[in-house]
Structure 1
Amino acid sequence: MKKLSLIATSAMGLEAIVGKEVKDLGYDCQVENGKVMFEADEMAICRSNLWLRTADRIKIKVGEFQAKTFDELFEKTKALNWGDYLPVNAEFPVIGKSVKSTLHSVPDCQAIVKKAVVEKIKSHYKTEGWLSENGPFYRIEVALLKDIATITIDASGAGLHKRGFRMDQGGAPIKETLAAALVLLTRWNPDRPFVDPFCGSGTIPLEAAMIGQNIAPGFNRDFASEAWDWIGKDKWDIARQEVEDKAKYNQPLDIQASDIDHRMVNIAKENAEEAGLSEFIQFKQMQVKDFTTTKEFGVIVGNPPYGERLGEKREVEQLYREMGQAFSSLDTWSIYMLTSHEGFEELYGKPATKKRKLFNGFIKTDFYQYWSNVRPPRN
């Protein structure tokens, strides 16, 4: 087993949640802007891809160094131990980005890194001529920030938000990684009721169901690194067996999801069926103002309309007022809403216990948290 420098990339505002997930997998980590870094072995690549609900990707850091000239970038990239990662027939496109760096031409940086890796591979495998690039896929990234080049290989493939079962997503879906973060931030546990009154295509209730039954978010999909010989099929088999062993398929759940739009409710139902979770979520077409319940100590999580589009603002503000009235008697419930509308608390009729800044895509939002003051009875 070799020691690897791994990076779990993260949306802004979710770094601490990704860090907690990495620690829960048993790895010490360091949290920085947009990423969580940890040292681990090959098994960690399998486990972190399968289990991290809120990370965007898992990357292997091959090297990091200062590069102010193209020669420096070429020589230092070539000096890295590419033979430890790439077979002679690897397919390895190079992507890049550059922020506040002398080497600001990204296409040039990509071309130089590509050339340096080709040279090193030829030297390592003692081969000449063209490399076939018809083997396993390794996407390399060169990221320059203030003249420091970080060279990574993407171990995920498609972004980790792609769980592998969404049939349809409707208009403005929330990313699965953000949805999972919203659920985790509530500290909900599966013996309590869970409600999403703005379910759209069902992303939040589906993430809640997977969390409630401890189902790994990557259970139903493939990863680029599954084809890498130096990790090996055996390790992936062990990691996938762990996923199966740790799932709590018999855990009963009380999850209700509703939306004003019956078409979205139907899409959400289809997505739940595809994920194998339809029996654990009750879907209903309903306006939030009609929500009532006799249950206690539940959690409501929602991503309501924000009123960003022209002509929608007044309608959305009325919706927030109605929501505040509908939820005003739920003394034992905790309520969590994500919106970019800065007047939310006033419209809702109550200041939040806590606010957390998060980004929904490129939209700056706040996660308004209303905690119940009533403690549930101890069992």
Structure 2
Amino acid sequence: MKYELIATSAMGLESLVAKEVRALGYECEVENSRITFKGDELAIARSNLWLRTADRVKIKAGEFKAFTFDELFEKTKMIPWEQFLPVDAEFPVSGKSQKSKLFSVSDCQAIVKKAIVERLRKHYKKTSWLEESGPLFKIEVALVKDVATLTIDTSGSGLHKRGYRVNQGEAPLKETLAAALVMLTNWTPERPFSDPFCGSGTIAIEAALIGQNIAPGFNREFISEQWGLIPQSIWNEARNEAEDMAKYDQPLDVTGSDIDHRMVTISQENAFEAGLGDLISFKQMRVQDFTTNKEYGVIASNPPYGERLGEKPAVEQMYREMGKVLLPLDTWSIYIMTSNEQFEQLFGKPATKKRKLFNGFIRTDFYQYWGKRPPREK
């Protein structure tokens, strides 16, 4: 069966998610925070396994204009829910509303739930209440400018939950954003890669997964694996494909360092949990002590921003010292994400390019300093 699928994304990452969807072989359309494409059951399994920068993958059950509760009820009831939900499906309904006449989210949820129940009871010829003792289908009604979009989540936990994070620091970077930072650099697996503010190791781990072409969802489960809709053979096919495409013998030079020895220990634990413990080296070090005799490497990092009161002067001084250490590495490309608007002045050089990104709700810039191009191999 062909489904209309939506890969949701953080603001600013839409083009990356679209690029990933196209790389899987699916045409797509890009809107704010959502990438829409068509695919069968295998597409659902593959996109959950492979999308590094998407938040989750949903089936679009229906979309229509709704200005009244009656309209919401009748149009929801017209959707062929029996094509998705078995008679014993457990289906909680969540919701959100923006700039719409129907602004009471709890009422919208209750109406959608009632409409689906009526449709299923009629189809399955049930006179009594539906038991909801079977597999879980998370349904969402999202109203934006009076257009209701009804979706079924196929991922379960967000796709950033790769399953390797044993522990984390105070402000962990989402794995999806960390993967995006790596993908926005000019790094290739044969070049050195380093994160001098590694925290819990997320950027370095995502770089190693990308370097060996390991599907980010390979070691986790998805809510739709419990559905009769997608046979186990489909999931086996998708996982076998991921196994075949991984390049476990690709040598990598990926390193991470942090001033806090506890974070270095956490990074090592997370890397081992990801199956990459032997591939990434972590060590305790201040960024001011970063030295290397390697060439044409890439530094990608998410240093402290100095958002908290009293931290700013120390962070700004660190940016100055960082510039003195990193800028002389003229063959290296440097990529730094921070919300500090004075970063270029403090670092000591204007960026080659910068890109607006959101780290959670914090608006940041991704400052890009491109090093010399490596010589072409003869």
Fold agreement, TM-score > 0.5: yes
**1:374 is the counterpart of 2:367:** no
> Which residue of structure 2 aligns with residue 233 of structure 1?
232
RMSD (Å) for aligned C-alpha atoms: 0.7
Counterpart residue type for residue 111 of structure 1: A
**How far off is 1:228 after superposition?**
1.1
Partner of 2:339: 340
Q: Letter of the aligned partner of 1:140 in structure 2?
A: I
Partner-residue secondary structure (3-state), 1:279: coil
Amino acid of the residue matched to residue 23 of structure 1? R
Could you say which residue in structure 1 is the equivalent of 2:44?
45
The answer on whether the counterparts of 1:163 and 1:220 sit within 8 Å (CA) in structure 2 is yes
Corresponding residue number in structure 2 for 1:97: 96
Task: Write out aligned runs for 1:52-201 (5 A).
Answer: 52-201=51-200
- Identical-residue share of aligned pairs (%): 69
- The one-letter code sitting in structure 2 at the alignment partner of 1:252 is P
Q: Which runs of 5+ in 1 are unaligned?
A: none
Given the alignment of the two structures, is residue 362 of structure 1 paired with residue 361 of structure 2, yes or no? yes
SS of corresponding position for 2:278:
helix
For residues 136 and 314 of structure 1, the distance between their equivalents in structure 2, rounded to whole angstroms, comes to 53
- Secondary structure in structure 2 of the residue aligned to 1:278: coil
Return the alpha-carbon distance in structure 2 between the equivalents of residues 229 and 243 of structure 1.
Answer: 22
Equivalent position of 2:24 in the other structure: 25
Correspondence for 1:248: 247
Distance 1:238 1:374, change over 3 A: closer
- Supply the distance in 2 between the matched residues of 1:154 and 1:58 (Cα, whole angstroms): 6
Q: Partner amino acid for 1:42?
A: E
| Superposed displacement of residue 376, structure 1 | 3.3
User: Which residue does 1:351 correspond to in 2?
Assistant: 350
Which one-letter code corresponds to 1:106 in the other structure? V
Shift of 1:372: 1.2
3-state secondary structure, aligned to 2:371:
coil
Cα-to-partner distance string for 1:279-337 (whole Å, 9 max, x where unaligned)? 11111100001001000010000000000001100000011011100012111110000
Give the Cα separation in 1 of the matches to 2:221 and 2:127: 33
The CA distance in 1 between the partners of 2:67 and 2:347, in whole Å, is 53
SS at match of 1:355: strand
Pairwise CA distance, 1:187 = 3.0
Shift of 1:45: 0.3
Q: Is the 8 A contact 1:331 1:374 kept in 2?
A: no
Unmatched runs of 5 consecutive residues or more in structure 2? none
Amino acid at match of 1:72: E
Q: 2:320 is matched with which residue?
A: 321
Secondary structure of the 2:230 match is coil
TM-score, normalising length: structure 1: 0.99
Is the Cα–Cα contact under 8 Å of residues 355 and 366 in structure 2 kept in the other structure? yes
How far does the alpha carbon of each residue in 1:175-216 deviate from its partner, in whole angstroms, 9 at most, with x for none?
Answer: 000000000011311100000000000000000000000000
Counterparts of 1:72 and 1:209, CA distance in 2: 50
- The residue type equivalent to 2:55 in the other structure is D
Residues 297 and 376 in structure 1, CA contact (< 8 A), matched pair in contact too: no
Mapped contact 1:304–1:339 kept (Cα < 8 A) = yes
Match of 2:220 in 1: 221
Q: Structure 1, residues 23-68: CA drift from partner, whole Å, max 9, x if none?
A: 0000000011101000111111000000000000000000000101
1:268 aligns with 2:281: no
Q: 3-state DSSP class of the match of 1:60?
A: strand
> Do the aligned residues in 1 keep the contact of 2:98 with 2:145 (CA within 8 Å)?
yes
1:205–1:281 CA contact under 8 A, matched in 2: yes
Residue 130 of structure 1: how far off its partner (Å): 1.3
Q: Which amino acid aligns with 2:353?
A: K
Tell me how far apart the structure 1 counterparts of residues 317 and 5 of structure 2 sit (CA, whole Å): 47
Q: Distance in 2 between matches of 1:301 and 1:325?
A: 17
- 1:161 Cα offset (Å): 0.2
Matched residues in 1 for 2:239 and 2:222: separation?
A: 12
